[in-house]
Amino acid sequence: MIKNVIKKILIAIGIWAVIVIDTVLIIKIFRTSSNETSSISSNNYINNTSVYQQNLIPRFGINYIYHGMDKYQERFGGTTQEYVFHQNKKLVSIGTVWVRSAGTGDPTSLGWNMIEPKEGVFDFSLYDTRLKDLEMRELWTLGGIDFNPSSIPDYAKAINSYGFDDQKYLTYINKIVERYDGDGKDDMLGLSNPIKYWEVGNEPGAQSFPHSAQDYSHILKISYQNIKANCPDCQVLIGGLAIGQLREEDKWQKALDNLRQMLADDAGSYFDIFNYHEYTDDCDFLTYYHVKGFNELLDSYGFTKPIWITEANTKLQKKGKGKYEDLEVKHTIEEQAQDIIKRAVVAFDAGVDVFFWHRLDDVSSKAFGVGLFDENDKTKPVYYNQKLMVDKIGDFNSVERIDLGNKELYFYKFNIRNEDVFVLWTEGNETILDLSQYFQSSNLQFTWAITQLKQINPKIEAVAKNKVRITKTPVFITEGR
């Protein structure tokens, strides 16, 4: 009898165990499924190539996060670690998930002379601190391989056209990629979100790499081969090409010629993602023209590549030093706040996959007023609009421009998980339009971009679809529920 009781108890325990296990599995599956379709603001992304191919990668990023640390510490104090944590908190508040650091001036970067100050002696302490905190906050990292002339350590310098020894350079690359690739071999202790995207240098042909296209092609090739040998699923970006500002056709043609020479040298086989910097300064920002030009050139050599813009901004100042009020104004605070949305929307419609704003803050006082935070580390209207974009279109699947019969009207439809979000503005005079044919609901919800200092929340209002007011300030439109 006792045996029968025990048997029944064991059977009951087994049944409950199965139920519990099944429930856990169901919850896990549900969470996984939910995460794969969640919005960017929740940062639920898996950093791997398959996600990129599914078009689910984050769409926004910020460049120059940690530049100006010395200026910040002079004014506000704090240790290096406290500064890094502070900057990362600012990123999380935006919802932006890509972090890029290119060029000199970032003491926490992977700069060659900082990571390997003496031959064979590697110091990852600052970068590890930065990356661990980024991982905890579920932010993505675009790894930067830096061989800027000022970053080449003395022991690695060589008498050749680009100034450093290949084998010593490959040792440097091998160490950093292996440490952060997540393959379980020589990884950073506790690595949970591996770096799967690597940019090789910055602005080849410009000050960051003032050497020939053939020299850069060679470095790109050996870098790509080394990265792929260590991390086959890693994606390699060509260093962001500089194309000048305004309508500087000579610099644009120089960038095309530079890329043409690289492609003729088979550089197209040694990067996965094309990358350039878009600073041109009108409404279209010539982005359509530039993306079309790059695509046509790549296609002529048999290549089709995703395109990222890893630097773009709208300047408040014509010079880069001093306080805003002491300098000649280039754009107003209001124009800058409008432009961050216009630049990104136009870029996405042109075919750009990822858009980075340059930069996070103006604390260093040499940033032309382009930061999301001002020189006192306070938020600007442009900050809130970056945040608004991440929330509204941060994980869009597709975008198309709708022709309203007037080239001054900019009307775009973004699809986000089978729902549509529209973005609308004009570069002409304010006007009223009937948009009934584009919407089923009678009333629309308008979320206006922020343009004024001290304004924190966007204005939201219900609007009749047959009487839509269009201004130079972009508005996000959804159908009323």
pLDDT at 327: 55
Are residues 248 and 269 in contact, defined by beta-carbon separation less than 8 angstroms?
no
With 0-12 / 13-18 / 19 or more C-beta atoms within 10 angstroms meaning exposed / middle / buried, residue 398 is exposed
| 346, two tokens | 């136009």
Are residues 362 and 371 in contact, defined by beta-carbon separation less than 8 angstroms?
yes
Where in the chain are the domains? 58-395, 409-479
Non-local CB neighbours of 121 within 8 Å, separated by 6+ positions: none
Distance, in Å, from the CA atom of 34 to the CA atom of 468, rounded to the nearest integer, reads 35
Distance, in Å, from the CA atom of 376 to the CA atom of 380, rounded to the nearest integer, reads 10
With 0-12 / 13-18 / 19 or more C-beta atoms within 10 angstroms meaning exposed / middle / buried, residue 61 is buried
116: left (phi over 0), alpha (psi -120 to 50) or beta: beta
The model's pTM: 0.87
Top CATH class, 58-395: alpha beta
In the three-class reduction of DSSP (H, G, I as helix; E, B as strand; rest coil), residue 479 is classed as: strand
Non-local CB neighbours of 269 within 8 Å, separated by 6+ positions: 221
Non-local CB neighbours of 172 within 8 Å, separated by 6+ positions: 112, 115, 116, 156
Non-local CB neighbours of 469 within 8 Å, separated by 6+ positions: 430, 431, 432, 463
Distance, in Å, from the CA atom of 287 to the CA atom of 370, rounded to the nearest integer, reads 19
Non-local CB neighbours of 407 within 8 Å, separated by 6+ positions: none
In the three-class reduction of DSSP (H, G, I as helix; E, B as strand; rest coil), residue 144 is classed as: strand
Distance, in Å, from the CA atom of 78 to the CA atom of 75, rounded to the nearest integer, reads 9
Distance, in Å, from the CA atom of 394 to the CA atom of 43, rounded to the nearest integer, reads 10
Non-local CB neighbours of 361 within 8 Å, separated by 6+ positions: 68, 90, 367, 371, 372, 373, 374, 375, 377
pLDDT at 17: 40
pLDDT at 31: 30
pLDDT in tens, the chain (481 residues): 444 544 444 444 443 443 333 333 323 322 332 332 222 233 333 333 333 334 478 999 999 999 889 989 999 999 999 999 999 999 999 997 899 987 678 989 999 999 999 999 999 999 999 999 999 999 999 999 999 888 999 999 999 989 999 999 999 999 999 999 999 999 999 999 999 999 999 999 887 788 999 999 999 999 999 999 999 999 999 999 999 876 778 889 999 999 999 999 999 999 999 999 998 876 676 899 999 999 999 999 999 999 999 999 998 877 665 555 555 668 899 999 999 999 999 999 999 999 999 999 998 766 689 999 999 999 999 999 999 999 999 999 999 999 999 999 999 999 998 899 999 999 999 999 999 999 999 999 999 999 999 999 999 999 999 999 999 999 999 997 6
Distance, in Å, from the CA atom of 279 to the CA atom of 14, rounded to the nearest integer, reads 65
Are residues 427 and 128 in contact, defined by beta-carbon separation less than 8 angstroms?
no
Non-local CB neighbours of 403 within 8 Å, separated by 6+ positions: 411
Distance, in Å, from the CA atom of 235 to the CA atom of 52, rounded to the nearest integer, reads 10
Distance, in Å, from the CA atom of 393 to the CA atom of 478, rounded to the nearest integer, reads 12
Q: What are phi and psi of 431, to 5 degrees?
A: -150, 165
Distance, in Å, from the CA atom of 378 to the CA atom of 454, rounded to the nearest integer, reads 10
Are residues 472 and 401 in contact, defined by beta-carbon separation less than 8 angstroms?
no
Are residues 414 and 422 in contact, defined by beta-carbon separation less than 8 angstroms?
yes
Could you write out the DSSP letters of every residue in 384-452? Answer: HHHHHHHHHHTT-SEEEEPP-S-TTEEEEEEEETTEEEEEEEESSS-EEE--GGG-SSSEEEEEEPP-S
Residue 477 per-residue DSSP state:
E
pLDDT at 417: 87
Could you write out the DSSP letters of every residue in 273-324? Answer: BEEEEEE--SSSTTHHHHHHHHHHHHHHTT----EEEEE----SBSSSSS-G
Are residues 271 and 238 in contact, defined by beta-carbon separation less than 8 angstroms?
yes
Are residues 140 and 98 in contact, defined by beta-carbon separation less than 8 angstroms?
yes
